[in-house]
Each structure stands twice: as C-alpha cells, then as structure tokens.
Structure 1
Amino acid sequence: MSGPGTGGGPVGVAVVGCGVISAQYLRNLAGFPAVRVLACGDLDPARARAAAAEHGVPYAGGPHDAITRPGVELVVNLTVPAAHAEVAEAAIAAGRHVYNEKPLTPDPASARRLLAAAERAGVRVGAAPDTFLGAGLQATLRLLAEGGAGRPLSAVALMQGPGPQRWHHDPEFFFRPGGGPLFDMGPYYLTALVAALGPVARVAALSGRAFDRRVIGAGPRAGTDFPVEVATHVTALLEFASGAVATTVFSFDSPLGRQDFLEFTGTEATVAGPNPNGFGGPLRLRRAGETEWRELPVPANGTGRGAGVAEMALAIREGRPHRAGGELGLHVLDVMAAIAESAERGAFVPVASTCPRPEPLPEGWDPRISQHRNLAI
C-alpha cells in the first residue's frame, strides 16, 4: 500500500515521545533528506519544547497536536512500550503512517489489531529495530546470502549485563510487562537472526529472575528501589522454517556485560557478526581448517537510529515495500511471546506468524544522500 503523501518532497515527520532515545533519532533524522521533522510531541509539553528547540524542529506540543500537525505524514512513536499501541492507533486514525520503536506493541494481539487498522486506513506500519540496516549487519547478510559460509546451519546470539537500572534515570518500564531483556534487547538480536535465516517456526525456552527488586543507580532518584515484574534471564532455542537453529541468551542478571556475540555457522565457515544493537562492524570470517579469524571490510553507510524511518520514507515515495516493516515487527513479537510462553509451560511452542525476509540494501545505500528524484529540497 502507498497511503498518504505519495507525491514529491521529503516526508513530513512528527516525533512523539521525547525521552532519552529521541535525541538520537532527532539528530539523525535532521541529516536524512528523505524526511523533514515538523513536530515533537510528548505528554510533558515542556520536554517536547526542549527537544524541538535543541534540534531545530518548528513545532512542539502534546502527542495529539504533533500527530495532527499539517504536513505530517509519518509519526515516529518513541513512547514507552505500554503506550506503543495507543499512540500508533491515534496516528492511524489521523491517516498517518507510523513507525514504532520496539517492541511493536506490548503483545501480539494488539499488534495484529494495529496492522489490521493500518490496512483498513491504507497506511503503513514500520517497526524498530532498524539496526539490521546498518553497514555491519548488511555486510553480514550479504555475505550469508551469497553463500560465503556455505549453507547456514546454526547461530548463537548472546546479550548479557547487569541491567539498565544502573544508568537510566527512570528504569522501571524496563522491568514491567513489555520490558525485560527479552522484550527490550531481544528485538535487536531476533530481528538480525530473522533477516539472516528467515522466519522462526518454533521455540523452547527457560527463564528466571535473580532479584525481585532493583535499585536505581543514576540520576535524581538514585538509591530508590522498585519491583521487578518480568523474567530478567531468558535462554531460548529457535528452529527456523529453513531448518536452521539458533541458541540465544538475553539477561539482565550478569555482572559481565556482553552484547556483541552473534555468530552464524555454515557448512563451510563461521561468520562472526557485529553487535546487533549497533550499526557498524566488525565482521569476521573463519573458514573450515583455518586457525585465525579474518576481518572483512565493512563500508560505512551513514546509518543510525532512524535509518528505518528514512528507508520507509523512500519506500512511501517510491511505492514499494519498506524493510523495517510491520510484518517483521509482528513476527519478532510473536517469537518473543512464544519464548515467554515456552519458559512458562516448559514445552516447545510454535510461532504464530511468518514474514518475508527483508531484502539486503543495495551496496552503497546511505540515508544521508537523497536517492529518489522526488526528494530534492
């Protein structure tokens, strides 16, 4: 579907939710010619005004005012996970495309309602993370797609650390339903795995929680404790429709921080990809019989938070599917929900949805450069 705003010029954007992550989005979006940020919205209008002033955005106000601002075609929804569905539904009701931060919504049922509403309205849904569009993971995906490791057989993805309460000023939402290491960090790793190996067919998992309460470690509320409502360590096995398998660990219970472990094993080589929560490299290859890793070149492509928004804007103007799409976001959400259910039931759980594997970007793609003739400013 193409939805509103299929003419020329940059796509008008409203950023709703002006918390910590919004600064990265606003800084990057300002450098992407495919979009023009017209409004910032937040439940705290003062926060929206501060973000708008810092990044040269012409309007700031509440969420509804930002969504309905004239010229806005695409709403970038950076609210907390519990509000993702509500804000996205408001955007769709106003006839806007929407790009949600991860997870798409807190649960698969609300995600399905959201996609159905967008289908009826003739608008698009995009979904973070867009890190798989970064130079490092794109080089990894191209290498695997071209047979650089032979036939892909398995993967290992590992994310562990002590938890975001150590640095975030208001970390409670990380430890409520829709958060935890699975739903907060899992989307980066699971999206990378799906982009590389295709959709997941079934999962098996175990989970646990080291502490029932956490203590805020930074900011004006440092020393305040709060309850933990979700599992903070999750180990899962994934079986892909292609027949490949993966082992994954997502943990906020480890004193040792490790977030850059992503390996794919094929019939001829092992590929060590970059941190799925980043946009660069390194990318390493070790062929059968070799005793050392070889680092492969990763050309910079200028991506960062918001690259998925820029790619979606180009797709809107060109009338083609966008890569960080709602179907992919729903499938990753379904995988996470199946992992949580499996950990609770102690059994394999099938994944309810599937999705197309996103095509690798053309080599040399860079969202900082206008790549569509109708985007001249």
Structure 2
Amino acid sequence: MTEDAIGVGVAGFWHVHADDYARETEAHAETRLIAAWDDDPGRAREGATRWGVDRAESLDALLAHPGVDAITVTTATVDHTEVISRAIAAGKHVFTEKLLAPTVAESQQLAAAATAKGVTLVVSLPQLTNPVMVAAADLVDRGALGAVTYARVRMAHDGWLAGWLPDRFADPVRAIGGAFTDLGCHPAYLVQRLLGARPETVSAVYTHVTGREVDDNAVVVAAYADGALGVAEASFVTTPGAVAMEVRGTEASLLHGFGRDGLLAKGGRFGEEWVVVPLRPPPPTPFELWVDAMRGRADASADVSAAIDLTRFIVAANTAAATGSRVGFDPEGPS
C-alpha cells in the first residue's frame, strides 16, 4: 500500500457485491478501507467488524470521516441517487454497483454533478472487461462477422434455488425490479456493446418461478433499425449457473459458454470448423479504472455513458414487461 493511498468508505452492505468491492479496495496498492456505514445498524455493525474498520453512525458521518476520500456504493438500488448525490456534494469520488440510478434523468443528473464537482464516478460494468467479451466486441468492430444480425447473451445463477441470494432482492421498491434489473444488467450492456446502445424497440417477458413478487426469469428482445436482434436473458433459477453468448453475422459466428470454454468462431475467415479465438490479457477492471481515473491516469467518461445507456435499456425493458407491449427506445428517456 502506498503512503498516499486513497481512503475508501463502504456505503451500504445491502448488495451481495459489497464485500467484493471491499476486497478489491484492500487488494489494490493505492486504496485502503477506512470505514463503513449501512442504514441497517445490524448490517453496519457486522460489515465493519468483518473488515476491521470504523463504523459510521450515519451517511453524513461516513462522508465527514477525515480518512475517507471516496466511497463504494452497495446500498439498495432505490437509494443510489440520494447516496451518490450526497457523496458528490461532499467532494467524494464514487464507485457504485449498477444501476447508477433508477431513472435516466437521475443518472444524467449524477453524471453532470460529478463532472461539475470534479470527482470521479465509475459504475461497475465488469463484463465489459471480460477477455472473452472484449475479443468478441473487437471482432464485431473489425467486421470479422460481416453484418451482425443477432446477438444473445445469457447470465443466470441458482440464487433463489440454493438460497444464497437474500430475499431483500425480491423487494420491488428497494431493488426496483427483479432478476433482469439486477443480473440482467450484464447481458443488457453486452448486447448494447455488440449491436449498439440504442435499439429501436424493446420487448420483454418476465416470469415468477419461485412465486416472489419480482421476476426471477426474464428474456428481453431489442430490435435495431438495421434488422439486428439482441436477446438478453437473466435468471435466478438456473442450475448450474450460466454465462453464455451467441453472436451471428452474415459471414461468421461466435459462441461462448453452452458447455464450451473460451470463445469459438466459425465461418468466413475462420473456416468451416469451430476454432478457438486467442484472448488478450484483460484490460483494467472497473475498480482499477476508478483508481486510475482518480489518479488522473485514465478517463472514465465512457463507463458513465454506458451506465446511462444501460439505465435507459433497463427502464425500457421493465416498462415493456409491465405493459406487455413493445416499447419504443426513446433516446431522451424514459425517465
């Protein structure tokens, strides 16, 4: 750890990734964990004890702690706007779990506030730095598949079958949604990376396998102006868990998952048999990007733009599922 390490406070242990980000904070040479807060006193006490740091009695106390320069936000999603806006106003850098905020307007306001205050805001979109996904996006960008006509990304786990995902994730107010709003963010932003941030329309089907109030099984279809289709799937009721991707073009195709390791390609320049695509070392993780940006070594604006577009996609999908209709993808909202 460097002598001028950035002091980080944990804002909330509501989300299951709170400890993951605390772990990253402790592992990074330029950051150190200083204090923790949660709006639930029991969670706050347990989290602070687990990590051996000061327990702040309130969010104001966390933001006023003399050793805290930045915070990680893993509160309930509904609280993101208030927590992040207060942190920015206090001059603290922010690394937050997705979604950035429940609405597009709030997401845009937070991004603008961070820029105006001169603090670094980064949203955790980790699959964008997955070497498999990076390689797939690079091949798409270089036209190696021809015109891409279809992209499907599935992320699923057994959280509500095996019992490890807390029931608080089923609170439609606190979580602002179910499987697609949480886990579905990853396939959503990957579809956007492969096909474009803004499709023409979005349709969705959400189901309830375990009987909870929010969806635990979801499929969303995004239709693009050029005829391409993007399919994003999420599930809390899949055994074993799955991360899978299928990208089809007019000249070649890519596969990942579905019982296969790595990234496979077939057609066009790749030949008539499935071949393994070489992968490059991973780029910086979202947390590493945050640290680099705080130090002035990187620009995090692309991450924030992607996070705002992701909010737009999730809001459209939730609207489509609730109304049972195809929703137009408004570039200025919905908010």
- The equivalent residue for 1:350 is 329
The equivalent position to 1:13 in structure 2, one of 8, 11, 15, is 8
Corresponding letter in the other structure for 2:91: G
Residues 1:102 and 2:98 aligned together: yes
- The equivalent residue for 1:182 is 180
Q: Any stretches of 5+ residues in structure 2 without a counterpart?
A: none
Taking a change above 3 Å as real, the CA distance of residues 350 and 117 of structure 1, as seen in their structure-2 partners, is same
User: Quick check: 1:200–1:241 contact (8 Å CA) kept in 2?
Assistant: no
Residues 1:263 and 2:246 aligned together: yes
What is the correspondence of 1:153-302 to structure 2 with a 5 Å cutoff?
153-160=149-156, 164=160, 166-168=162-164, 170-177=166-173, 178-210=176-208, 213-214=211-212, 228=213, 230-240=214-224, 244-252=228-236, 259-273=242-256, 282-288=262-268, 290=271, 292-299=273-280, 301=282
Corresponding letter in the other structure for 1:263: E
User: Quick check: 1:237–1:247 contact (8 Å CA) kept in 2?
Assistant: yes
- The equivalent residue for 1:129 is 125
Corresponding letter in the other structure for 2:328: V
The percent identity for this pair of structures is: 24
1:141 CA displacement: 2.6
2:39 partner SS:
coil
TM-score (norm 2): 0.81
2:164 partner SS:
coil
Taking a change above 3 Å as real, the CA distance of residues 23 and 273 of structure 1, as seen in their structure-2 partners, is same
What is the correspondence of 1:318-357 to structure 2 with a 5 Å cutoff?
318=296, 320-322=298-300, 325-343=303-321, 344=323, 346-353=325-332
Deviation per CA, 1:49-107: give whole Å up to 9, x if none: 54445445x43323332222224332210111122112112211211122221111223
User: Quick check: 2:151–2:195 contact (8 Å CA) kept in 1?
Assistant: no
User: Quick check: 1:45–1:60 contact (8 Å CA) kept in 2?
Assistant: no
1:346 partner SS:
coil
Deviation per CA, 1:8-48: give whole Å up to 9, x if none: 95433222113432222222222222433322222345544
TM-score (norm 1): 0.73
Higher deviation after alignment, 157-166 or 192-201 = 157-166
What is the correspondence of 1:53-132 to structure 2 with a 5 Å cutoff?
53-55=49-51, 58-62=53-57, 63-132=59-128
1:211 CA displacement: 5.5
2:295 partner SS:
helix
Once residues 22 and 210 of structure 2 are traced to their aligned partners in structure 1, the CA distance between those partners, rounded to angstroms, is 36
Taking a change above 3 Å as real, the CA distance of residues 320 and 150 of structure 1, as seen in their structure-2 partners, is same
Corresponding letter in the other structure for 1:334: R
User: Quick check: 1:153–1:266 contact (8 Å CA) kept in 2?
Assistant: yes
Aligned CA RMSD, in angstroms, stands at 3.2
1:312 CA displacement: 1.8
User: Quick check: 1:197–1:242 contact (8 Å CA) kept in 2?
Assistant: no
What is the correspondence of 1:19-38 to structure 2 with a 5 Å cutoff?
19=14, 20-38=16-34
User: Quick check: 1:339–1:349 contact (8 Å CA) kept in 2?
Assistant: no
Q: How many residues align?
A: 323
Q: Any stretches of 5+ residues in structure 1 without a counterpart?
A: 1-7, 215-227, 276-280, 355-377
Taking a change above 3 Å as real, the CA distance of residues 353 and 124 of structure 1, as seen in their structure-2 partners, is farther
2:169 partner SS:
helix
Taking a change above 3 Å as real, the CA distance of residues 212 and 294 of structure 1, as seen in their structure-2 partners, is closer
1:291 CA displacement: 5.4
1:334 CA displacement: 0.6
1:331 partner SS:
helix
Once residues 265 and 233 of structure 1 are traced to their aligned partners in structure 2, the CA distance between those partners, rounded to angstroms, is 24
1:160 CA displacement: 4.8
Taking a change above 3 Å as real, the CA distance of residues 131 and 30 of structure 1, as seen in their structure-2 partners, is farther
